[in-house]
Amino acid sequence: MQSTAIDEHDEADVPTDDAANAERARLRAQILRKDKWVRRLPLLPAMIFTVIVTQVAFIFSLYYSFTEWKIVPPSPRTWIGLENYTNLFDNQFFQDAVWVSVVMTVASVVLSLVFGLLIALLLDRHFFGRGFLRTLVITPFLIMPVVAGLIWKNQMFSSEFGVINWLLDTVGLERIEFVSRYPLWSIVVVLVWQWTPFMMLIILAGLTSQPSDVLEAARVDGASNRSIFFQITLPHLRPYLELGILLGSIYLIQVFDHVDVITGGGPDSTNVPYFVFQRSIGGGWNFGEASAYSIVVVIASIIIATFGLRVVSGLLEGEDPA
């Protein structure tokens, strides 16, 4: 009888213990939430400043996109609703600029990523002077865009004293006016030259973080270098490749300096940023229309970047093509 009473007493204490544990867990979670806010509070002014700096301009651009506002000749802002957006899809010059931006961005990102991967694989090996060679390779990325454009336009592409045409003369080939005959691809060449080191640095960081014991185990098991690359190295590099594609796309779709310096715009080299410049302070002086173009480009850039990352992720998740 006494044992039974003790058991019943223990069973009665169980809910009490569970309730106490639940109360302690609730208090602990509450304290943790308060601690998080205490730690975040010093960052609040910086967060507010960032939101103001980044979003206020976008909000004003959104407002201007619904207005008719020309400053030459001066005219008051007039609310016209969605008229700027409806006219946008009928503007053949804007459609051409969109196509140029897409080709310029995709070609530059893909080529710089491929060349960056190849150079990173070479520099991942141990040899004398590797550090010095890495410094030389990243030099193009450190050059200002305007300076890079001038270097290639005047010293490489020039039909009179450019290095490329001098080499063509040396082998007996005809000189080529690259900028006038191939304006878009002239810009792409300069962008690839500047952005290959950036891609190389990201991929090289991924290669150096790869566990060496995994590679050694694969070689001991008889795996070929090709199998190791496609089945081990490439999946490991996936987040680094995605990061390079994302950052490169975000920057290269906004290219302006190279277009302005190398070609000065034109039917085959005017991308969207340069087109917006032409419609605003480059002669059009229509800030309402230019704002509408800018808003559409921002939204399209976000959608394209998201879709592109998903496509690349799906490709990198595939098996060895061999």
How does pLDDT run across 198-231, given as a tens digit for each residue?
999 999 988 888 888 888 888 888 888 888 888 8
Question: Given a cut of 60, is residue 83 above it in pLDDT?
Answer: yes
- Residue 47 inside a domain? The answer is yes
Task: Grade residue 148 by pLDDT with cuts at 50, 70 and 90.
Answer: very high
**Rounded Cα gap, residues 108 and 254, in angstroms:** 12
Are 103 and 250 contained in the same domain? yes
In DSSP terms, 79 is beta-bridged to: 67
- Residue 166 inside a domain? The answer is yes
Task: Grade residue 283 by pLDDT with cuts at 50, 70 and 90.
Answer: low
pTM flag (> 0.85): no
- Residue 79 inside a domain? The answer is no
Are 55 and 94 contained in the same domain? no
Question: Given a cut of 90, is residue 292 above it in pLDDT?
Answer: no
- Residue 240 inside a domain? The answer is yes
Are 170 and 209 contained in the same domain? yes
Output the DSSP codes for 89-105: TT-HHHHHHHHHHHHHH
Task: Grade residue 6 by pLDDT with cuts at 50, 70 and 90.
Answer: very low
Question: Given a cut of 80, is residue 114 above it in pLDDT?
Answer: yes
Q: What is the CATH number of the domain that holds 298?
A: 1.10.3720.10
3-state SS class at 10:
helix
- Residue 292 inside a domain? The answer is yes
Determine if the peptide bond prior to 321 is cis (ω within 30°): no
How much is the mean pLDDT over the chain? 81
Question: Given a cut of 90, is residue 115 above it in pLDDT?
Answer: yes
- Residue 126 inside a domain? The answer is yes
**Rounded Cα gap, residues 246 and 249, in angstroms:** 5
pLDDT (average), residues 232-247: 85
How does pLDDT run across 293-320, given as a tens digit for each residue?
888 878 877 776 676 667 566 656 654 4
Residue bearing tokens 């290669």: 207
The per-residue pLDDT for 14 is 47
Look up the domain containing 7 and give its range: 2-64
- Residue 321 inside a domain? The answer is no
Are 175 and 300 contained in the same domain? yes
Are 58 and 93 contained in the same domain? no
Are 94 and 171 contained in the same domain? yes
The per-residue pLDDT for 109 is 93
Question: Given a cut of 90, is residue 93 above it in pLDDT?
Answer: no
Are 51 and 128 contained in the same domain? no
DSSP code for 318:
S
Structure token digits, residue 2: 């006494």
- Residue 72 inside a domain? The answer is no
Are 265 and 192 contained in the same domain? yes
Q: How many domains does the chain have?
A: 2
Are 225 and 127 contained in the same domain? yes
Are 8 and 49 contained in the same domain? yes
The per-residue pLDDT for 284 is 67
